[in-house]
Structure formats: C-alpha cells, structure tokens
Amino acid sequence: MKIINNPLKKDWNQILQRPTKTVNDIEGTVNQVFLEVQKEGDKAIAKYTQKFDVVSLTTNIVSKEEINQAIASVSNELKEAIIVAQKNITVFHNAQKTTKVSVETSKGVSCWQEKRPIQKVGLYIPGGTAPLFSTVLMLAIPAQIAGCKEIVLCSPPNKEGKIHPAILYAANLCGVTKIVKVGGIQAIAGLTFGTETIPQVYKIFGPGNQFVTVAKQLSTKYGVAIDMPAGPSELLVVADDTANASYVASDLLSQAEHGADSQVILVSTSKDFINQVTTEVQKQIKDLPRRETAQKAIDNSKSIFVENDTIALDLINQYGPEHFIVCTKNNDFYVDNIENAGSVFIGNYTPESAGDYASGTNHTLPTNGFSKAYSGVNLDSFTKSITFQKITEEGILNIGNSIELMADAEGLQAHKNAVTIRLKDLKN
C-alpha cells in the first residue's frame, strides 16, 4: 500500500481515484452484446457464453433435478450457516416494513401512499472463482418479503456448464422462481430485452465487474431500472492507536481478495499505526489462497496519514466509501457525522465480513463514490410507492379556486376547465 502523509485538500480527488477503467474503454463491447441479444435472443446469449465462459450449453435453464443434486451436495454445516444468515437477514429486512401513510391535507381532500412490490426482478449473482451465494440471500430475501411475483436469477456457468451448488441451494431456499445459467454482459442484456428462455424484468439487482456495471447502466436506456451502479468492491478503514493492527490488516485483505480492481484505504492519525498495519498486511497476505489477486488490489491501495479526526472525516466524506470501518478512540464522532457511506462497521469486533454474510444488513452497496447519492439495497428497493387521493364535493370546493388560478397562470386552460366544470355543477 502506498503511504501518503498529510495530503493537501486540493490533491484529495487525485489521491482518492478508483483503479477502474473509464466507461469509454468498455462501452463499445457492452453495446455490441446488447444489440445482438436484442436482435437474436438466445442465439446471441449462447455465442457470448461460449466466448466469455468457454462453455456450450444445451439449455440455459437450471432444472429441478440440478437443484436437487445441488442441495444434496452442500454440506450440512454450510446449510446450517446459510440458514443462520437467512434468519438474520430476514429479521432485519422484515423490520423495514412500513405502514400506509394517510392524511387529510384539507377538509375533504384525502391523500395516502401505499407500497407495492415490483412484479418482475432480475438478480445477478457473480460466479467464477468466488461464487457469491451470499448475494443470493441479500437479494432474494428482500424480494420475497416485498412480494415480487417473478424473481429471476442469472449466474455464469462454470466450464462444466454448472452453477455452484451453494448458489442453487440458497436460491431454492429463498424463493427464486427461475434460475438461468448466463453471466456477464449477456445476462444483463437478456434480463433487459427478454429472450426465449430469459424473462424480461422491470428492475435488475446485483454486483459485478466493470462490464456488468456498464451493462446495468445501459439497460436503463431501454426502460429497465437498476438498484445502483455497483462495481468493484471497496473498503475504507479509519483507525488510530487504539485499534488492533492485525484486525485492520485482515479487514483490508478481506476486500482486497475480491478482485484486482478492488480498492482498500486506511486513514489514520498515527504514522506508527500505519506502519504496524503495513507489516501485518505483508505478513497475512502470504497465507491467502487468493494472494495474487489480493496483492494486485493492495498495490492499487493507499494508507493516508492526516493530522486529526476532523480532516479524516472530511476526506472520508469526499471519498464516499462502499464499506466504512471505524476503529478509533472517538468512534461516535465518525458515526454521528459520516454523510457518505454505503454501510458502517463500528469497533474492533465488527469486521466488514459480518455484513457480507450473516449480521443481517445488506451487502449490495453503492461503490465508486455513489454512496453520496445512493442507498444500499434494502426492502424498499423491491417496492415502489403509489400515491392515492380522494376528493369529496367539499374538498373540491375548498381547493378548486387555487387549482384554477395556478393552471391559468401556467397557461394550461384544460387543466383549469377540469376543475371549473365541476365547481359550476356544485354551485348550481
């Protein structure tokens, strides 16, 4: 990790840049795949599955037999762990339910708001060297609680044409209605347009690499909503001499092993602590099975020394981390004043990996600074709010004149007439 001492504020933007490609670098590829899937459906899906995943499939759809085989192959210990996580995630997301909001704004004018589930949602689950079956829980559980009717899961097949059994187990456990063996850009395109085997959905959820992120953003041009622009994972830790250097190093590495384009940052008011963490990172990384991946991410990451907590907080809010760990003697200062973060982890015994798996909070979070404007996935992500109103005769008499005046001032005569005709009938 590169160590930076007391950077000037004017240099923060450059220092805090993410190690990501620009959209222009990959937009051409994404556009090409989208155009072909839109035109050729499953034929294009098969072409790009062969090209990117190096496998030819006789069918995209996961059968009931495959699901049963997967369930049987998952160890009882892992099943029990997944069930613990399912329980905690369910408890936390159930608690997010809200009741109908209803109010009489004027005498005879009743307005209310109710939430309805998004009928058709697509869940993208990364596969490859790190099959994220935990993400199935994070997306399918709130979708199920919200009452989504169609929950379509897409995940890339391995070279044997299979999806990791733990993904299938979790999907079956959490009420996914259809599982499709397709990944990457072609999966997002399939969910966007619909194909012979992939249903078209109204909203797409899930993390992915930079190609998936750009594909999700492109899908919005075709009328499909997305959860957020969620790209490569990132973590920022703020810590001082009261923290445990080995714990902090383990947290930094836990995110670094996600991918070479992940980014981890340590911000500290102690140069000595930064040195301790640097030593621990070098020590712990040697034993990681994914050490080559983690090392590439660490090479793109930084340790930043600042003079005090106020400067640290300003820098952190400017960065807007996906995951934010606070381990200082003044945790409350950061917790009370953080404005831009996807999810916050407080104290020496709250590792970020707890949120990734089993504490109950959702791990699908905004990256690349989007925490400045986006929330992480939650129950509301799978619903939309519909407003209702009912106006009585007394109500239209009370507000009718205001509507007429405002419509007339905007030059919208038909709007005014819609009220005037009613008021005339009531006054006659």
Question: Is 164 assigned a ligand-binding role in the annotation?
Answer: no
Q: What is the pLDDT of residue 177?
A: 97
Q: Is the pLDDT of residue 244 over 80?
A: yes
pLDDT of 71-110, one tens digit each? 999 999 999 999 999 999 999 999 999 999 999 999 999 9
* Mean pLDDT confidence for 215-222: 96
pLDDT of 351-361, one tens digit each? 999 999 999 99
DSSP-derived secondary structure letter, 155: E
CA distance 303 to 315: 13
Q: What are residue 110's DSSP bridge partners?
A: 104, 390
Q: Is the pLDDT of residue 21 over 60?
A: no
> Tokens 């990681």 identify what position?
288
Question: Is 309 assigned a ligand-binding role in the annotation?
Answer: no
Is the entire prediction scored with pTM above 0.85?
yes
* Mean pLDDT confidence for 261-270: 94
Active site residue 234: no
* Mean pLDDT confidence for 179-195: 97
Question: Is 209 assigned a ligand-binding role in the annotation?
Answer: yes
pLDDT band for position 231 (cuts 50, 70, 90):
confident
Domains in the chain (CATH in brackets) are: 2-20+232-360 (3.40.50.1980), 23-230 (3.40.50.1980), 392-427 (1.20.5.1300)
Work out the percent of the chain whose per-residue pLDDT is above 90.
91
Map residue 120 onto helix, strand or coil.
strand
Active site residue 322: yes
Question: Is 200 assigned a ligand-binding role in the annotation?
Answer: no
CA distance 115 to 119: 12
Q: Which of 322, 352, 393, 394 is catalytic?
A: 322
CA distance 169 to 72: 9
Question: Is 186 assigned a ligand-binding role in the annotation?
Answer: yes
Q: Which of 384, 268, 357 is nearest to 84 (CA)?
A: 357
pLDDT band for position 215 (cuts 50, 70, 90):
very high
CB atoms near residue 396 (< 10 Å): 18
CA distance 424 to 419: 9
Beta strands in 227-262 (DSSP E): 234-239
Q: Which of 93, 164, 323, 363 is catalytic?
A: 323
Give the chain's radius of gyration (CA, Å): 25
Angle between helices 42-53 and 184-193 (to 10 degrees): 170
Q: What is the pLDDT of residue 339?
A: 98
pLDDT of 120-167, one tens digit each? 999 999 986 678 899 999 999 999 999 999 999 999 999 999 999 999
* Mean pLDDT confidence for 238-262: 95
